[in-house]
Chains A and B, each alone.
Chain A
């Protein structure tokens, strides 16, 4: 059974640009969550989608957005990139609506220059 797949693995963008990251959850999983990981702040929750609906949102500016498709694949978008957006962006998938195992992908390493 394939795990969580995130693409691309690495990305370099310039300040002011926008970026779209993709996540394919484990087959049968309907919940997808996104996290930002930095050395200074650790793992911080961005948002969660279940059945194409955003259910929870973390404390990030509106430049960070996401969506989920009918096949449960999810994308997150960051507009007007800032240097501080450089981070490892992680996607986790879960089978049920709540309180269930969350499995992570390898992440997308975003570098903003």
Chain B
């Protein structure tokens, strides 16, 4: 299927440190990407997006980097806070409407 993954990668960081969450996407035709944050019991929350004609985009405390050559996406969170603890997903759009393919997710735990 398009989404595989029984194993959820985990990342633990100290409060105040920077976090980097990585994502490898599968289709070179993907032209739009979104990072989502999902807390327990809630729906995914939009964090930041990037289009394929860019390689970097910055938001508030977050930066997304896109490397199309190796089909890699990363989310950098500056000065990570306990409220950043959640599962983070990257989602790719292949240009066919608003259908997104999601990565397996990474569980981020911030240690106070």
Q: How large is the interface on B (under 10, 10 to 19, 20 to 34, 35 or more residues)?
A: 20 to 34
B31, B97, B102, most chain A CB atoms within 10 A: B97
- B97's partner among A31, A35, A103 (CB-CB below 8 A) is A31
Contact sample, A vs B, 8 pairs, CB 8 Å cutoff: A6-B43, A33-B100, A43-B91, A59-B1, A99-B98, A101-B46, A102-B46, A102-B100
In the complex the two chains form, is B42's CB within 8 Å of A45's CB? no
Q: How large is the interface on A (under 10, 10 to 19, 20 to 34, 35 or more residues)?
A: 20 to 34
Nearest residue, chain B, Cβ from A47: B99
In the complex the two chains form, is B34's CB within 8 Å of A102's CB? yes
Q: Does B93 contact A (CB under 8 A)?
A: yes
Q: Does A7 contact B (CB under 8 A)?
A: no
- Assuming the A-B contacts A41-B1, A44-B1, are A56 and B99 also in contact, with contact meaning beta carbons closer than 8 angstroms in the complex? yes
A4 to B34, CA, bound (A): 17
Secondary structure at the B interface, as helix, strand, loop or mixed, is: loop
Contacts of B2 in A (CB 8 A): 44-45, 58-59
Contacts of A102 in B (CB 8 A): 34, 46, 91, 98, 100
A4 to B42, CA, bound (A): 12
Contacts of B100 in A (CB 8 A): 33, 45, 92, 102
A47 to B27, CA, bound (A): 19
Q: Does A100 contact B (CB under 8 A)?
A: yes
